[in-house]
Amino acid sequence: MVAKLLCRTSLLCCNACIAVSAHSNRTFFTPRTPKLHFGAKGRFSGVRIEGYLNTRRSSMSSTAFPAASGSEKQAEQVDRIFSGENDDYGGVIVEMTSEPMDPSLFVTMLRASICQWRQQGKRGVWIKLPIELANLVEPLVKEGFYYHHAEPKYLMLVHWLPITVNTIPGNATHRVGVGAFVMNEKNEVLVVQEKSGQFRGNGFWKFPTGVVDEGEDICDAAVREVKEETGIDTTFVEILAFRMISFQ
């Protein structure tokens, strides 16, 4: 039993030396020779010795192999590329999260991503950048991206990859409005006077009008505007006309 104990103790010392040489900035420790514990009639208590050796091995492992730091984790991401969704026109849309990102790491991943997208034959690359990551606008511009449009909580930048004419459409430049022509069963036409705007206070009577909300159907917008301005419930019947006004 004594020979077996010495063998395990030597193994522990050997493992400790290897671990320390691999991490020279770690402090050396000298394994203590475990005390022998005997039970009744001088029998060796193996459970106590095993527990001692397992504890030392566990301590050695946690000391010899420290967890990777934040900078090391970022270095592991250098070869990664951004994931995105394919659009209907041969492009890709990348929606960034608001989690902070190191600009140098961002540029490295962006260049690797562009290289792969070119190989895949992608055309337009759209990057939706949360306003929290506005510091990444300059690196994007230097890599060939430009502003497409902006909303209160994000910026949309785009880059045309092929060596052909850029066919990415410009941002929307029109605002959609509605006017409601409302008649009752007496063939009376509903008209209102504005409390604000250019027709306020001049005695001018007009149809209920308003602006279509983002994503709203124009038919629903007409019904909503009548309700908001007059409190009258209406039912949409048909579209009578379209017109366009240029403010340029």
| Active site (catalytic) residues | 228
Alpha carbons within 13 A on the beta-carbon side of 10: 6
Instruction: For the beta carbon of residue 140, count every other beta carbon within 10 angstroms.
Output: 21
**CB atoms < 10 A from the CB of 224, how many?**
19
The answer to whether 226 and 182 are in contact (CB under 8 A) is: yes
Handedness of CA 203, 188, 208, 206 (dihedral sign): negative
Burial-class residue 179 by CB neighbours within 10 Å (0-12, 13-18, 19+): middle
Tokens standing for 147? 């502003």
Asked if 234 contacts 189 with a C-beta cutoff of 8 angstroms, the reply is no
